[in-house]
């Protein structure tokens, strides 16, 4: 008599080792969605609030704020945050479309992941070129 197959109780929650997994491209885009989100939270929000506050203070503070953007380090920070914002925006729109069952087939999902990724880099490069 065959033994009854019992469902194996797996420990939950499951933690995945990110360094041991070869991720398909949509996963890379999804992971970068997290990375960009974390960047926007940790650096983007305080920097945004501080910049808006300073730039509203006086014409002199405004000019000073514009001058700050001439420093290479400030430009790098601005470009990184611009990438984070744009990538997060496009990858987010992609998620919303997937939620609406638009482009859920594998090929389409891979295409849209690549599109969000490439579009973000192209627009970020355009901003970088304008800054320099």
**Residues forming the site for another protein (CB under 8 A):** 12-13, 15, 34, 37-38, 40-41, 45-46, 49, 52-53, 55-57, 59, 62-63, 89, 92-93, 96, 99
Report, in Å, the least distance between residue 16 CB and another protein. Answer: 8
Query: Closest Cα to residue 76, out of 119, 47, 37, 35?
Result: 47
Distance in Å, CB of 108 to another protein, minimum: 20
Sequence-distant (≥ 6) Cβ neighbours of residue 118 within 8 angstroms? none
C-alpha separations of 23 from 27, 66, 83 in Å: 6, 41, 21
Report the Cα–Cα distance between both ends of the chain, in Å, rounded.
Answer: 77
- By beta-carbon proximity to another protein, the closer residue of 15 and 73 is 15
* Per-residue tokens: 24: 């398909």
To another protein, the closest distance from the beta carbon of 7 in angstroms equals 19
Rounded least distance, CB 33 to another protein, Å: 9
Nearer to another protein, 24 or 64 (CB): 64
């Amino acid at each position: 008599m065959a033994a009854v197959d019992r469902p194996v109780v797996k420990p939950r929650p499951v933690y995945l080792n990110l360094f041991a997994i070869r991720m398909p491209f949509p996963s890379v885009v999804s992971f970068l969605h997290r990375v960009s989100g974390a960047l926007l939270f940790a650096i983007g929000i305080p920097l945004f609030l501080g910049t808006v506050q300073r730039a509203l203070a006086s014409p002199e503070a405004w000019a000073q704020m514009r001058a700050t953007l001439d420093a290479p380090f400030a430009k790098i920070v601005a470009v990184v945050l611009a990438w984070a914002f744009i990538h997060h925006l496009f990858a987010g729109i992609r998620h919303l479309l997937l939620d609406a069952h638009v482009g859920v087939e594998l090929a389409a999902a891979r295409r849209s992941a690549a599109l969000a990724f490439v579009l973000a880099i192209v627009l970020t490069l355009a901003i970088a070129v304008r800054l320099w």
